[in-house]
Amino acid sequence: MTTQIELQNVTFQYPKNDEPTLKQIHLTLNQGDQLAIVGQNGSGKSTLAKLMNGLLHPTSGSAHIHSLDSQSIPTAEISKYVGYVFQDPDEQIFHATVAKEVLFGLKLRKFPKAQIKLQLNHALIMTGLDRYRDMNPFDLPPATRKFVAIATVLALNPDVIIFDEPTAGQDTFGNQLLSKIIRTQKKMGKTVIVISHDMDFVSNNFNDILVMTHQRILSRDTAKAVFWDEKLINEAHIEQPSICGICKHLGIMSKPITLKEATVAIKSELFS
Amino acid sequence: MTIAIDCQNISYSYPIAIDNTQALTNISVQLEKGKFYGIVGANGSGKSTFCSIIRGFIPKFYKGTLTGTVKINGIPVSQLQSQLAHLMGFVFQNPYSQLSGVKETVFEEVAFGLENFGMPPLEIENRVNRAMDDCDICDLALRNPFKLSGGQVQRVAFASVLVLDPDILIIDEPTSQLDPMAAEKIYKIICNLKSKNKTILLVDHRTDLIAKYADEVLLFAKGHLLEKGTPHQVLTNPHISAFGVKVPPATQLIRSLKLSLPTNANFPVTEGEAVKLIKEENKNDNTD
């Protein structure tokens, strides 16, 4: 299995801060990994993401992307392998229409014209933006604008995609579309990293969970192991998915994570 | 019962709207003083537009075509002018829109509104400290607001409105970037405000929290106010997911279990209600 991203003993400190934002981070991501990062505000999730795509470099320790030291290759080169969707889409959007925004990265990459057209259309259709292609992104609601940012990254077809809080402000339609995009990337063998505070979304879409707190990685484990570990949950300021919370109060033993598992567990443990 | 906000026949279309499409159509609703209203609906359904009209941002900053009237405590919004700032607090959806941009520390940012009200410095300091404590941002007091994480800025934005102690608070998606514990904390702060007879309008996609804390829920769809009622009445409507609103997980679970409910029972919307109902059913099941 190819290793896509490897962080070894990484510490990171922003120039004017008194303390490091990340301490002693070890993390390996292989091709096809689907990782969700959860944890409290200010715990270093977005900073970690920016170390994985070369926007930031370790203060000490090393970050390897595609086996290359992130310090030795230009960030533009890294962006061919790792796509990053910013938490605030307004930080990356600046064109007059949705289509032009998505085209920008494709043109920089100097792909053949036919391929550009194909990848543009594919990205717009996948994100449900086809009908908005001639609109100004800033006339769209913020949650839809997030999909513009997602389309710009999908269009470039990188091996690794990092989504920074894509679920923030999304309604159920938005969340369903996100699930679908992530499933599609999985089928294509891509590596996907999602930062999210929506525990229901995380537990329904991921089984590889990284928990962060106070500048460190607290745990990386399966959804079941993470969301049924009460001590871990309290320490990380996260919460169990609602379904788990109900099952805990009912004394369900089999530690269900999804609605389906909970339904089966409650029926068999309480009503059989 | 005192009416804090009275909307009559509000319709509105934005200046850039294609074919004059209405963002809101014929909204009439009365909101009571001292109640906590949760506002739900798909993105683009009119929730934020509704909030902007009540606060008077529409038509003051956004032009377009507005008809109908909004009265606050019986007085039309258009006549309230600068009093509105004292009467009503507004927390923006994008927390960066809330920042003044002229203050270099979180403490000064939170104090900014009170300074503008001309309050004595000692009182400002007390109130700012209390608001920062409520929002768990005391440790950020000396940080630059523009160098914080998304969730931290969101809490600073909330504190900078909370500190003004307005009678009416309009809060547009205050928890979208917050970790789960911080999100629930915001709802607890709001409940505390309710006990002080404040009126709260809160837009959020977190129907589990709205079910737990709100007195009433307003459901918007395509510019219409489709429903107004208790969380039970609105959130157990089987059609809400077709309007982009998440069915509370507790409700989903009870539905999925296909329990036969007593006819007079409220269908659960909160975790606590679901647990109680399943336990009762389990007891009945075992005694059969």
Give the chain A residue whose CA is nearest to the CA of B184: A239
d(CA B172, CA B93): 5
Q: Identify the pLDDT of residue A9.
A: 96
Q: What percent of chain B has pLDDT over 70?
A: 97
Query: Is residue A114 scored above 80 in pLDDT?
Result: yes
Closest CA to A9 of A216, A193, A160: A216
Q: Identify the pLDDT of residue B67.
A: 94
For the segment A123-136, the average pLDDT, to the nearest whole number, is 94
Give the chain B residue whose CA is nearest to the CA of A248: B275
Which residues of chain B lie closer than 8 angstroms to A200, CB-CB?
A: 249
Return the minimum-mean-pLDDT range out of A122-126, A205-209, B146-150: B146-150
How many residues comprise chain A? Answer: 272
Which of B47, B136, B146, B181 should we substitute to test contact with A (largest number of A Cβ atoms within 10 Å)? B181
CB burial string B20-35: b at 16+ within 10 A, e below: eebbbbebeeebeebb
pLDDT in tens, B79-104: 887 888 889 999 988 888 889 889 99
Q: Identify the pLDDT of residue B223.
A: 95
How many residues comprise chain B? Answer: 288
Q: Identify the pLDDT of residue A159.
A: 95
Q: Identify the pLDDT of residue B82.
A: 82
For the segment A152-169, the average pLDDT, to the nearest whole number, is 95
d(CA A151, CA A71): 27
* Pairing mode, strands A3-12 and A22-30: antiparallel
Strand ranges, E, within B34-116: 36-41, 65-72, 75-76, 88-91
Confidence of residue A72 (pLDDT cuts 50, 70, 90): confident
pLDDT in tens, B204-257: 999 999 999 999 999 999 999 999 999 999 999 888 999 999 999 999 999 999
Confidence of residue A94 (pLDDT cuts 50, 70, 90): confident
d(CA A207, CA A223): 5
Confidence of residue A71 (pLDDT cuts 50, 70, 90): confident
Return the minimum-mean-pLDDT range out of A32-41, A193-202, B74-83, B196-205: B74-83
Q: Identify the pLDDT of residue A25.
A: 95
Stretch 118-147 of chain B: residues touching chain A, C-beta under 8 Å: 147
Give the three-state DSSP class for B128. helix
Alpha helices (runs of H) in A66-198, residue ranges in sequence order:
75-78, 98-108, 113-126, 142-155, 172-187
Q: What percent of chain A has pLDDT over 90?
A: 79
**How far apart are the CA of B121 and the nearest CA of chain A, in angstroms?**
29
CB B180 within 8 A of CB B153: no
d(CA B75, CA B147): 41
CB contact under 8 A, A246 and B253: yes
d(CA A216, CA A19): 13
Look over chain A and give the mean of its residue pLDDT values, rounded to a whole number.
93
Which of A19, A38, A41 should we substitute to test contact with B (largest number of B Cβ atoms within 10 Å)? A41
pLDDT in tens, B128-182: 999 999 888 999 999 999 988 888 899 999 999 999 999 999 999 988 888 888 8
Residue B67's alpha-carbon distances to A103, B27, B58, B59, in angstroms, are: 41, 10, 11, 10
Stretch 7-46 of chain B: residues touching chain A, C-beta under 8 Å: 16, 41-44
Mention every residue, 6+ apart, whose C-beta is less than 8 A from residue B177.
A41, A87, A165, A168, A197, B95, B150, B151, B153, B154
Q: Identify the pLDDT of residue B281.
A: 85
d(CA A44, CA B221): 37
ipTM of the complex: 0.86
Bridge partners of B109?
Answer: none
Confidence of residue B266 (pLDDT cuts 50, 70, 90): confident
Query: Is residue A70 scored above 70 in pLDDT?
Result: yes
Q: Identify the pLDDT of residue B264.
A: 61
d(CA A5, CA A49): 11
Confidence of residue A91 (pLDDT cuts 50, 70, 90): confident
Q: What is the pTM of this model?
A: 0.91
Contact residues of A toward B, CB < 8 A: 14, 16, 39-42, 46, 87-88, 90, 139, 141-144, 165, 168-175, 197, 199-200, 237-239, 241-243, 245-246, 249-250, 259-260, 262-263, 266-267, 270-271
Give the chain B residue whose CA is nearest to the CA of A249: B275
Q: Identify the pLDDT of residue A22.
A: 95
CB A22 within 8 A of CB A11: yes
For the segment B111-137, the average pLDDT, to the nearest whole number, is 94
